[in-house]
Amino acid sequence: MAQLGILQRNESSAQGKYSVELKHVAKSYGDTEIYTDLHFQLLKGTFVALVGPIGSGKTTMLNMFAGLERPSSGSILVMGRDITRMSEDELGGFRASTIGLVPQVQTLIPELTVRENVELPLHFAKVDGESRQRKVDYVLEKVGIRGEAKRTVSTLSVGEKQMVSFARAMVNDPPILLLDEPTEALDPLMAEVIMGLLRGDNLTLGRTIFVTTHDRRVTELARKTLRVKKTIP
Amino acid sequence: MSRGVSLQEGQLLARSLNVSKSTHLVVATVAAAVAANAAAAIQLTGLAGQVALLSLIFVTLALGTSAISSDIYTRSSQTIANLRSIGASSRSLSSAVFFSVIGYGVAGSALGAGVGAAMGIALGGQGGAVSVLVAVVGVILASSAAAAAGVYAGVRRTWRN
């Protein structure tokens, strides 16, 4: 069993105060228990880093926040809504408007251009054409890849893809940003750009940021650090 | 099925799922071949034979287009997971494939039925202009309905799995 440092344990779950609330969440794969009783809340606008050994369940927790994996028991409230009770399609719509996700493994569509990739979540959120154009231009400018907008993603470097991933996560102006090892495999320059954005750029300011990382530079930016103490057997 | 899915979104999704010109060509040519044969043969047979031919068109094309749409989803399962992680709904993904494929099925059917009608006349079909027209319309309707039902069934089966 992995145990986490606890943030805001047992505080009242006043509506509107928390962006994410875990209530007695357990998660297992077959006979392997990952978490047995997670119970904590993340305040809105906080920046939390989750650290721990490889295979300790960090990505699983992040995926549960995003509704990509469901807990075995317990409930998860995101912006006051219980995502464990939502259908897949409800979750899709909710994610499109609420959660920006930068996964560890690239999930960009290689056949599409940078602009088209970044634009996709706006289509799913039914944003009109003019607003889509404006939002995409803004976010590409902020992450410094507007000049690459017409390039096909398959032609980009790892670092450039990570920036596109970041832009795609931010384009819908989500209140929650989830990042899985965002600086891993990046050269120092690209890692510094990502950290610059996390440090308090207008693009990320005021959002709840939850990041899994092994990078000490990233944990130093976080307001709180959660630590997975034991690895999964 | 199309509700809430824009043309641009559908095109982007179809490209993401690798619904390519080859896919369109396969659908159109299969529909055209089946419709051409049926439109020719239907002029050379009686009512029972005509009903049998239309049924055969429906079953054949429905099975074929169902397999094609299932295949699109099966080979794009990772892309679908990626798209769903950023908010794509099953409705938008289904619509993208449905509308991307169905147009080519209908176009192929219409073309094939026209060619088949001419072949039927050349082969000595006994009907007048009206009966040839009825045969062509029947073949187009049966094959279009089959393509639509097949694509829809393929999509549904894939989501259930």
Test B92 with A124 for CB contact under 8 angstroms: yes
Where residue A104 sits, what CATH number does that domain have? 3.40.50.300
Cβ-Cβ contacts under 8 Å, A109 against chain B? 15-16, 79, 82-83
Asked if residue A110 is part of any domain, the answer here is yes
| Residue B17: closest CA among B77, B63, B61 | B77
Name residues whose C-beta falls within 8 Å of residue A39's C-beta, 6 or more positions apart in sequence: A6, A9, A10, A22, A23, A24, A25, A74
Asked if residue A8 is part of any domain, the answer here is no
- Flag whether residue A124 sits within 8 Å of chain B, measured between CB atoms: yes
Instruction: Give the amino acid at A172.
Output: N
Report the chain B residue with the minimal C-alpha distance to residue A101.
Answer: B86
| Residue A219: closest CA among A85, A49, A98, A84 | A49
Test B85 with A66 for CB contact under 8 angstroms: yes
Asked if residue A134 is part of any domain, the answer here is yes
Q: How far is CA B55 from the centre of its chain?
A: 15
For testing contact with chain A, the best of B8, B86, B158, B161 (most A CBs within 10 A): B86
Task: For residue A232, give the 3-state DSSP assignment.
Answer: coil
Test B9 with A66 for CB contact under 8 angstroms: no
The percent helix, strand, coil of chain B (3-state, each to 5) is 85, 0, 15
Name residues whose C-beta falls within 8 Å of residue A138's C-beta, 6 or more positions apart in sequence: none
Regarding an ipTM greater than 0.95, the answer is: no
Test B16 with A109 for CB contact under 8 angstroms: yes
Asked if residue A57 is part of any domain, the answer here is yes
Instruction: Give the model's pLDDT for residue A3.
Output: 35
Asked if residue A220 is part of any domain, the answer here is yes
> Per residue in B81-106, pLDDT tens?
899 889 888 888 888 888 888 888 88
What's the rounded mean pLDDT across residues A113-120? 96
| Residue A43: closest CA among A161, A231, A175, A217 | A175
For testing contact with chain B, the best of A113, A116, A124 (most B CBs within 10 A): A124
- What percentage of chain B carries pLDDT values higher than 90? 13
In whole angstroms, give the CA distance from residue B111 to residue B107: 6
Test B85 with A116 for CB contact under 8 angstroms: no
Q: b vs e for B58-81, b when ≥16 Cβ sit within 10 Å of the residue's Cβ?
A: bebbbebbbebbbebbeebeebbe
DSSP track, A7-64:
SSTT----TTTEEEEEEEEEEEETTEEEEEEEEEEEETT-EEEEE--TTSSHHHHHHH
How far does the CA of residue A68 sit from the closest CA of chain B (Å)? 7
Whether residue B115 has pLDDT greater than 90: yes
Domain residue limits at A163: 18-226
Test A125 with B83 for CB contact under 8 angstroms: no
What is the Cβ-side half-sphere exposure of residue B114, based on CA atoms within 13 angstroms? 5
Asked if residue A63 is part of any domain, the answer here is yes
Instruction: Give the amino acid at A81.
Output: R
Number of domains comprising chain A: 1
- A 194-223 residues with CB below 8 A of B? none
How far does the CA of residue A170 sit from the closest CA of chain B (Å)? 11
Cβ-Cβ contacts under 8 Å, A96 against chain B? 86-87
In whole angstroms, give the CA distance from residue B5 to residue B9: 6
pTM, to two decimals: 0.81
- B 30-49 residues with CB below 8 A of A? none
What's the rounded mean pLDDT across residues A149-160? 93
- Extents of the domains making up chain B: 7-160
Test B86 with A101 for CB contact under 8 angstroms: yes
- Record the tokens describing residue A12, joined without a space: 């009242």
Instruction: Give the amino acid at A19.
Output: S
Stated length of chain B:
161
Instruction: Give the model's pLDDT for residue A5.
Output: 35
- Flag whether residue B77 sits within 8 Å of chain A, measured between CB atoms: no
Instruction: Give the model's pLDDT for residue B75.
Output: 85
Rg (CA), chain A: 17
What's the rounded mean pLDDT across residues B103-124? 89
Q: What end-to-end distance do the CA atoms of chain B give, in Å?
A: 20
